[in-house]
Amino acid sequence: MKSYLAVDIGGTFVKSGMVRENGEIVATHKVKTPKTLDDLLHTIQAFCHSRPGVAGIAISCPGAVSDDGVVYGSSAIPYIHGPSVKKLVERRTALPVFVENDANCAGYAEMWKGSARGKKDVLVMVIGTGIGGSVFKNGLLHKGANLHGGEFGYMLLTPDVQDSNDVWSRVASTKALVRKVAKMKQMNPDSILGEDIFKMAESGDQACIQAIDAFYHLLAVGIYNLQYIYDPEIILIGGGISAKEDLIDEIDERLDRILEKIDLAKVKPKIEPCKFRQNANLLGAVYGFMLEHQNREL
């Protein structure tokens, strides 16, 4: 059975894992994200040397990734944007390399072994500091003309646009929730976490209760829009917030309220949490690698 080296490049850590072609993850390891591109390439080389016999390297990273492995856009890791990460790693390791956007990799994991398995038309949302995701049509990843397929967070929810703070990521992400509560309580946003807000709400804090209600409503509005734009079979929600047991019920309730007011709408979005969280990008990167090389062989 073939095994692959999977690498997930994040703003804080670079994670690696050995993933077998049946989807089994047999080893994971992480190190702090290097400060330079050369150090990153050296780190990936070291991962590779510690796992001899792999059939290839599958990389997940932020940014808009082209087919030839150039990472466009911007992120917390500026040095990966511009060069072909794919070609650089291939030169260092002499192995075939696949590189894909991290949210697309999370989507691949769900399509392969997760909550979207067996489905064709799927949206996967990842909610964290912003809102991103991936789009699948007829079971295939849709990257779009400008590699921005799945960038749901840039959607506008208000007709009165003032600045970038009006986009969905800035009003309905977990980071947006933290900013809102911090402003209401005149606190430093860095001193509070999303989990703290939910705990305070459970204790009866009215400011937190109000902010969370608005947060769920804005998520529901965006999901409603996505359903009627694309009409997927299912919309999956990932990111740290997806671990909350009542998340789906809360959004579902807000969707019911919206549908009650808009009598033209008859299709209710089907939403579920993503199956994979911490290792989703590793798993999905390998699935993307396997698909790409399978298509080349055909």
The string of pLDDT tens digits covering residues 213-225 is 999 999 999 999 9
CA distance 286 to 283: 5
Name the phi and psi angles at 139, rounded to 5: 80, 0
Query: What's the token pair of residue 261?
Result: 């007011």
pLDDT confidence tier of residue 157, bands split at 50, 70 and 90: confident
pLDDT of residue 277: 83
Percent of the chain residues past pLDDT 90, beyond the cut: 81
Lowest mean pLDDT among 93-97, 117-121, 126-130, 234-238: 126-130
**10 pLDDT more than 60:** yes
**209 pLDDT more than 70:** yes
**38 pLDDT more than 70:** yes
CA distance 44 to 175: 30
| Average pLDDT along the chain | 94
Assign domain 3-101 to its CATH superfamily. Answer: ATPase, nucleotide binding domain (3.30.420.40)
pLDDT confidence tier of residue 296, bands split at 50, 70 and 90: low
CA distance 90 to 109: 24
pLDDT confidence tier of residue 163, bands split at 50, 70 and 90: confident
Task: Name the nearest CA neighbour of 18 among 296, 286, 293.
Answer: 286
**86 pLDDT more than 60:** yes
Residue limits of CATH 3.30.420.40 in the chain: 3-101, 115-273
Please give the sequence-ordered ranges of beta strands (E in DSSP) within the chain, or none if there are none: 3-9, 13-20, 25-32, 57-61, 64-65, 71-72, 97-101, 122-127, 131-137, 140-141, 234-238, 271-273
pLDDT confidence tier of residue 266, bands split at 50, 70 and 90: confident
**69 pLDDT more than 80:** yes
CA distance 290 to 298: 12
Residue 46 parent element (H or E):
helix 37-50
**242 pLDDT more than 60:** yes
- pTM reported for the whole predicted model: 0.92
- Whole-angstrom CA distances from 34 to 37, 71, 102, 257 are 8, 17, 18, 47
pLDDT confidence tier of residue 297, bands split at 50, 70 and 90: low
Residue 269 parent element (H or E):
none
pLDDT of residue 221: 96
pLDDT of residue 295: 66
Q: Which fold has domain 115-273?
A: Nucleotidyltransferase; domain 5 (3.30.420)
With beta carbons less than 8 A apart as the criterion, state whether 251 and 271 touch: yes
Beta-bridged to residue 132, according to DSSP, are 126
> Is 61 exposed, middle or buried, given 0-12, 13-18 or 19+ CB atoms closer than 10 A?
buried
